[in-house]
Structure 1
Amino acid sequence: MNEAVTAEKIRCDACPVMCYIADGRAGACDRYANHAGVLVRLDPLTVLQSGAVAVPFLDGQQDDWDGDVIKGNRPFITAVGAGTTYPDYKPAPFIVSQAVEGVDMVTVVTEGIFSYCGVKVKIDTDRHIGAERAYVRVDGEAIGHVMTGEYGSSMLSLGGVLHLTGGSKKEGRVTCDALMRLCNREAVEVSIDDGAVVILQAGQAPVINGVPEKLMRVGCGSATIGMFAKQWVGHVDEVVVVDDHITGVLSEHQAGKLLDVAPTGIKMKGRRSTPGRYFQVAHPGTGWGGTDVDDPLTILNPFDAKVAWPGLRMLMVSTTGEQWAYYELDAGLVPRAVEAPAVIRASAERIAENCEPSVCSVLFMGGAGGSLRAGVTTNPVRLTQSVKAALTRVSCGGAQAYVWPGGGITVMADVMAMPLNSFGYVPTPALVAPIEFTLRLSDYAALGGHLDHVQPVEAVMGAAVRRVEPGEGRDPQDARNFPWGR
């Protein structure tokens, strides 16, 4: 490096890239900058003013400790804006002590650099968006895949070390960018191989092939029959709830039997499971009940002439109540669409009323290891043991983190419970995410913590900190708005 060039730049050691940063400019990560020769963090340290959302707590009516080591009725120092220890062996940026109801507590905060990380995306929809194991792509690059579907939702697994560092440079960059935007609650458009184009955004309805999804299904077709059968008796002779998974038929269903609904001679396509429950009545799709049909009559075979009768009343409805049609059989026992009575229209609306709004949920998932744990203790395995023994509570940006069983510290947190823009990146590529460890001071000493770096909470609660409610948006006076070049 030329000495003249080196003299006007400073070296950043926040990540393995080790940028030389000119005055007035930020490093490759956009997180650290050179301000008049001083390395500064662009995001301020963030403090949660109240943990009422991210950290449940008692209202003071009970004096006994309930196991909540964070105690959400006090300011909580998050790791957002704290900085990082990686890749060096050094104590975490902030190790903060605070007395809580006479108990000395310590919160260790650091922004972890996560190469082993990704997101799990839950999409509330009965539309078919892609086959299980199909690649999910952004800008043509594979960033994840479709997972096993859950009740009323499609699931995606995005990111992971193989996409971040195991493929091409472009794949890594695209994956990292998509993950960061999703975790920071921004919209990301993905395409699924041989499937749909979906716009994902945490806390917002998914947009599938250009159409915003509205409702999450009330249940499968069989469950819908069970929930609403009593409301149909006396007003209709047959009900078919169209569903890609389990299509329900009222007259054959146990609910219909208990209500003395007479046989109708209906004949369904697909594979009969148990009475009133049918699989594979159509192919998966974006039509009625997550099938590929726009005309529900296509899933019926001709009625049994020995049982059915002219004038038989039949309602066909989807699992969200958004699609429905009312028919009566003519003299040839062919269903003909007719105007529905008000009570039938109301029953379809009742199904829709019982459906929850469709939304995308984004859960950050990462493995905390390496020098991150060394920043907490001189004997890193003891931190893992303390977490598994429930002596240490793990949070991400103040949000409760679920710690997976088994080895290591693998955490998962809802990005909607974290302060907005809690995530950054480094050009490894890897995500930068906040993580906090909270425990009793005595337990911290026992696991070999960096006691000589503990500082009281008052020492870090100056004017420079950003105070937010859990999940609150970024402060418009945030330091990221400084007019520095990039």
Structure 2
Amino acid sequence: MCYIAEGRAGACDRYANEGGKIIRCDPLTILDRRVAKGDEIKPFLAADWDGRTASGADVVVSAIGAGTTYPDYKPAPFIVSREIEGVDCVTVVTEAIFSYCGVKVKIDTDRHLGRETAQVRSDGEIIGHVMTSEYGSQMLSLGGVDHLTGGSKSEGRKTCDALLRLCNKEAVELAIDGGSTVIVQAGAPPIVDGTPEDRMRVGCGSATIGMFASQWKGLVDEVVVVDDHITGVVSEHQAGKVIDWADTGIRILGHRSTPGRYFRVAAPGMGWGGTDIDDPLSILGSWREAKGARPGLSLLMVSTTGEHSAYFVLDDDLEPKAQPMPTELQQSVDLIAQNCEPASCTVLFMGGAGGSLRSGVTRNPIHLTQSVQREQTRVTVGGVPAYVWPGGGITLMVDVAQLPDGAFGYVPTPALVAPLEFTTSRAEYVALGGHETVIRALDDVLEAGGEYGADSRILGGAE
């Protein structure tokens, strides 16, 4: 029901008017493992592929460029049969229109991006919120039907635009209320307030002590690993006790948890260990001589990434004074940095494959849902295996970095359009009430194409 002028593309950039006929701008995409193009494509019927030729699983028809089932009473654009390892299989291919969709973003950083539940904006419009932090990463939830269709037209459009660019592996700048501005791109390091992140933390302060305590013993009298979540003190920590680390009389200004583990030593921020401090000594109280403090006692303070470190020695008044870092201690700091993984952004597309699109697969849609839940029908997105959530419906997630470029589209509803494939045996497909009369052989699809012509593109991965 869209109007497209002669020689122009539609608002969705997916269809155009050529000579009075609607054509598909992006052709049907075929994933061919036998064609070496440099990009690794994982055929969705051979997820455990080890690089060797596997009969029947070399060529698959993805849903990229296939078109939709809209209006949904009709069968999916392509229902393809082929034999795989002696089994007659059917793959139903459609580009699904997702009004109920969004992305979950994992940002590898200890920097404070914003408080939990803080609103996230793109180009001034609220498109999501900050989720709970995970181990060395900040999490965002973006999109969803309320932002796409429940607010103003501008909010819906800006949300759809940000989701589309994120899913197509483009860089998107996000501003967090009361927090930072971060540039997110799937597979790339995050850029926080203009500074690219280099590494994840090796662990929390407590875990860092557990990993490196034995390597510090004999080199330094005390080690404090500064961390926004759990700051560690080696002389008090169980790891230190096991190797007979002597008490030092140190006092930490924080909330003591179990021995050697402290919470809330500072507020979250962009400084040491994801805190707001620039001076690590600000988290220390007065040293206690009765508990082991003495002049000449040495102290290493280090962050969980090794990015920040400092060496101190107590003077006659038991005040820590900065000293040059000994070479052997610098090596341990470098070892922390070496054990940190590179920082990256992960973008997971999440959508509910429910509603009427299921009628493009079967005349009785509940049967498809039940078959997916029984794992008799496999769900993929652009050829990539999707994680299907337990419980009702077909709620799926997929890592967009694994998909071919340009796999996602949109419609002005606004909603995202994502490639979706359902694969099962022919016997199961018939049993769930599938559109058996329009099943086509793979060779026929490759030769004749579909409703919008026979154009196709082939993407391949090296053997």
- What TM-score bracket applies, with the shorter chain setting the length? over 0.9
Once the two structures are superposed, residues 234-279 of structure 1 have per-residue CA deviations (whole angstroms, 9 ceiling, x without a partner) of 0011000000000000000001011111000000001000100000
Once the two structures are superposed, residues 314-362 of structure 1 have per-residue CA deviations (whole angstroms, 9 ceiling, x without a partner) of 1100000111111111111111111111110010010010000010000
Cα distance in structure 2, aligned partners of 1:276 and 1:452 = 69
Cα distance in structure 1, aligned partners of 2:49 and 2:407 = 26
Change (3 A) 1:399 1:326: same
Change (3 A) 1:446 1:129: same
Instruction: From 442, 458, 462, give the equivalent of 1:467.
Output: 458
**Is structure 2 residue 144 aligned with structure 1 residue 174?**
no
Q: Which residue does the alignment assign to 1:363?
A: 348
**Is structure 2 residue 54 aligned with structure 1 residue 56?**
no
Matched-pair contact (CA < 8 Å) for 1:118–1:364: yes
Cα distance in structure 2, aligned partners of 1:470 and 1:269 = 55
Taking only the aligned residue pairs, the percentage that are identical comes to: 65
Matched-pair contact (CA < 8 Å) for 2:169–2:401: yes
Change (3 A) 1:209 1:53: farther
Change (3 A) 1:386 1:355: same
**Is structure 2 residue 13 aligned with structure 1 residue 35?**
no
Matched-pair contact (CA < 8 Å) for 2:43–2:58: no
Matched-pair contact (CA < 8 Å) for 1:56–1:72: no
TM-score, normalization by structure 1: 0.90
Equivalent residues in 2 for 1:17-96, closer than 5 Å:
18-50=1-33, 52=42, 55-59=46-50, 73-96=57-80
Q: Which residue does the alignment assign to 2:145?
A: 161
Q: CA deviation at 1:21?
A: 1.2
Task: Tell me the amino acid that sits aligned with residue 382 of structure 1.
Answer: H
Q: Which residue does the alignment assign to 1:195?
A: 179
Once the two structures are superposed, residues 114-135 of structure 1 have per-residue CA deviations (whole angstroms, 9 ceiling, x without a partner) of 0000000000111110000000
SS state at 1:86 partner: coil
Q: Which residue does the alignment assign to 2:392?
A: 407
Change (3 A) 1:58 1:142: closer
Q: Which residue does the alignment assign to 1:423?
A: 408
SS state at 2:428 partner: helix
Instruction: Tell me the matched-pair count.
Output: 447
Segments of structure 1 that go 5 or more residues without pairing to the other structure are 1-17, 64-70, 472-486
Task: Tell me the amino acid that sits aligned with residue 29 of structure 1.
Answer: C
Q: Which residue does the alignment assign to 1:328?
A: 313
4+ residue runs over 3 A deviation: 51-55, 58-63
Q: Which residue does the alignment assign to 1:15?
A: none
For the aligned residues, what is the CA RMSD? 1.7
SS state at 1:408 partner: coil
Q: Which residue does the alignment assign to 1:14?
A: none
Equivalent residues in 2 for 1:330-345, closer than 5 Å:
330-345=315-330
Which fold has the larger relative contact order, with Cα–Cα distance below 8 Å and residues 6 or more apart in sequence? 2
Cα distance in structure 1, aligned partners of 2:424 and 2:305 = 46
Q: CA deviation at 1:22?
A: 1.6
Q: Which residue does the alignment assign to 2:287?
A: 303
Task: Tell me the amino acid that sits aligned with residue 411 of structure 1.
Answer: L
SS state at 1:326 partner: strand
Q: Which residue does the alignment assign to 1:352?
A: 337
Cα distance in structure 2, aligned partners of 1:174 and 1:156 = 16
Change (3 A) 1:113 1:226: same
Cα distance in structure 2, aligned partners of 1:423 and 1:380 = 24
Matched-pair contact (CA < 8 Å) for 1:137–1:190: yes
Change (3 A) 1:26 1:100: same
SS state at 2:289 partner: coil
Instruction: From 84, 88, 94, give the equivalent of 1:104.
Output: 88
Cα distance in structure 2, aligned partners of 1:127 and 1:228 = 23
Cα distance in structure 2, aligned partners of 1:344 and 1:60 = 44
Q: CA deviation at 1:49?
A: 1.5
Segments of structure 2 that go 5 or more residues without pairing to the other structure are 34-40, 448-453
SS state at 2:363 partner: coil
Matched-pair contact (CA < 8 Å) for 1:91–1:450: yes
Once the two structures are superposed, residues 273-328 of structure 1 have per-residue CA deviations (whole angstroms, 9 ceiling, x without a partner) of 01000000000111111100011010001111222111111110000011111111
Instruction: From 232, 239, 242, give the equivalent of 2:223.
Output: 239
Q: CA deviation at 1:72?
A: 8.4
Q: CA deviation at 1:44?
A: 1.1
